[in-house]
Amino acid sequence: MEQKDILKISHVYKLFPGVQALKDINLTIKEGTVHVLCGENGAGKSTLMKIINGIHQPNMGAIQIYNKTVKIKNPIQAKKLGISMIFQELNYVPEMTIEESLVLGDWPLTPLNTIDWKKIRKDITKLLKEEGLNYSPTTKLKELTVSDVQMLEIIKSIANNAKIFIMDEPTSAITNKEVDRLFNKIDELKKKGAAIIYISHKMDEIFKIADYITILRDGETILTDKAENFDIDRVISLMVGREIGDNYPKETVSIGDNLLEVDKLYSKGVFNECSFYSKKGEIIGFAGLMGAKRTELMRVIFGLDPYTSGSIKINGKETKIKSVDDAIKNGIAMLSEDRRRFGIIPCRSVKENVALSNLKKFFYKGFWHKKKEISETQKYCSKMNVKTASYDVRIDTLSGGNQQKVLLARWILQSPEILIMDEPTRGIDVGAKFEIYKLMTDLVKEGKTLIMVSSELPELIGMCDRIYVMCQGKIAGMLNRNEFSQEAIMKLATGSI
């Protein structure tokens, strides 16, 4: 039986001040299919999805649902039309409980017209149990990991019984087990006739679930075809408009003396005694499954959280790091895994976000050197190839990948000796990843040391000189480059060795 067209986008244009975000976009989504959108950061994927969800209004073009033209003025109307969207950037209130978050905007009422919390508690408890999530409905979101919050967003979307699901990088912060659960849910939705518009930069999962693939580049639709007619090389080539050779531009760099030495660092109730070192000119990786406490260890080194015992040495000198200010003064910088919560200041401009950690450089004898701030911002944003109409626009108008590059520009301007990068390429397209990898190589050529925490084993293997593997709050082992393999890493990560 031929599948019906559930959603049709015709000749859609979107213009932001100084930027043509979308140009003559045409897209047809069929019921009971997964339609994957591929494109570099800034290609227009998220803008198009926000138009479908009513967040943005197109300057031109038409949207049809089951061949009926509709004008989607806001997300509430989109929801009524059967559209549900899971965002790449997690917008949540940390002080909210799970139950408050899941029923937000759709509260059941008692006969007295008050919120029926008894029914909410019962329904949410049942839902969490059905999904195999061992949480209390009253647990606050701030107590959950990024992975936990992402999974709840997915559950909330599915629970709304929508017919069109937009999933923007839904697996960027969840474990392999949760990915399998999500894919099973997607299969269930397809069987019910729902359509899933899926955005991802992970090529392996694209070819695992896609029925159709559409390539976007520079705000235009380049090609739509059945997934079986694509391979990885063709997708990447169409996305970037050029061939990308080696995905990991690793170079041989002269390795110097120990720059960072961590000895028996211990945080009570968080992680056990951890010891590792990193030399000048080295990229060291940290691998491990969700819950291995890699991020927690990095947060302590950067002064975000306290530690119980142990020592941190920089250039052979023991250093007390009790705050972020201490870390920065000692040449340490950290790119957080959660750029929305711990990275960007959404209401501020690109320029202000870059300058934030470097304000002392732009003040002299009490005077602000505006021209220097502008020139330095432009220099480092240009180096990072940040795509923006102006450095004065709000950073939250940029794509996720460009936001990440702005944060990198902030820390590179700081000129740290030690740069901790926690999931630096999460939600980043292949072209932008390549740029970040090249930057990493340039930094270690200058004698800096990089610590890369990543759930992507191929990039750890491709870019690192040594990899430490964590398991259940301790370092399970260390692998030299000639010992790298996904199997060896997973054995250590699962405690099989």
**Partners of 115 in the β-ladder:** 109
Q: Per residue in 403-419, pLDDT tens?
A: 888 888 888 877 889 99
Strongest mean pLDDT among 13-27, 79-93, 325-339, 452-466: 452-466
pLDDT confidence of residue 451: 96
Compute the CA torsion angle 115, 117, 118, 119 (nearest 10 deg).
70
Report pLDDT for 243.
Answer: 54
pLDDT digits (tens, 9 = 90+) for 129-179: 887 778 899 999 888 876 677 778 777 777 777 899 998 888 766 677 778
Query: How far, in Å, are 3, 129, 446, 493 from residue 159 at the CA level?
Result: 24, 14, 51, 33
Is the pLDDT at 402 greater than 90? The verdict is no
449 or 289, greater pLDDT? 449
Q: Which pLDDT score is estimated for 497?
A: 60
Yes or no: say if 311 and 283 are a contact pair by the CB < 8 Å rule. no
Q: Taking residues 388-417, what's their average pLDDT?
A: 82
Rounded to the nearest integer, the mean pLDDT of the chain is: 85
From the centroid of its chain, how far is CA 396? 14
Residues 332, 334, 339: CA angle, nearest 5 degrees: 160
**Residue 246 confidence (pLDDT) above 70:** no
pLDDT top residue among 186 and 431: 186
Q: What is the pLDDT of residue 432?
A: 73
pLDDT band at 367 (very low <50, low <70, confident <90, very high): confident
**Residue 29 per-residue DSSP state:** E
- Give the list of residues 6+ apart from residue 192 with CB closer than 8 angstroms, or none: none
Most confident of 14-18, 106-110, 262-266, 365-369: 262-266
- Determine the pLDDT at residue 242: 55
For residue range 307-360, list pLDDT tens digits in order: 999 999 999 999 999 998 999 899 999 988 766 677 777 888 888 888 777 777
Task: For residue 88, name the pLDDT band (cuts at 50, 70, 90).
Answer: low
Mean pLDDT (whole number) for 17-30: 87
Better-scored residue on pLDDT, 79 or 479: 479
Residue 496's pLDDT band (cuts 50, 70, 90): low
Neighbours of 136 (CB within 10 A): 14
Q: Token match 């990899």: residue?
A: 467
Strongest mean pLDDT among 179-183, 203-207, 324-328, 399-403:
324-328
Q: What share of the chain in percent tops pLDDT 90?
A: 40
Confidence of residue 370 (pLDDT cuts 50, 70, 90): confident
pTM exceeding the 0.75 threshold for the entire prediction:
no
> pLDDT band at residue 205, thresholds of 50, 70 and 90?
confident
CB 163 within 8 A of CB 195: yes
Q: What is the mean pLDDT of residues 35-53?
A: 86
Of 477, 403, 461, 472, nearest to 169 by C-alpha is 403
Q: What is the pLDDT of residues 416-442, one digit of tens each?
A: 899 999 988 876 767 778 888 888 898
Interval 69-83 mean pLDDT: 91
pLDDT score for 490: 81
CA distance 430 to 409: 19
pLDDT value of position 22: 92
Q: Name the more confident of 241 and 381.
A: 381
Q: Which residue has the tokens 């559930």?
A: 6
pLDDT at position 108:
83
pLDDT score at 434: 81
Q: Is the pLDDT of residue 462 over 60?
A: yes
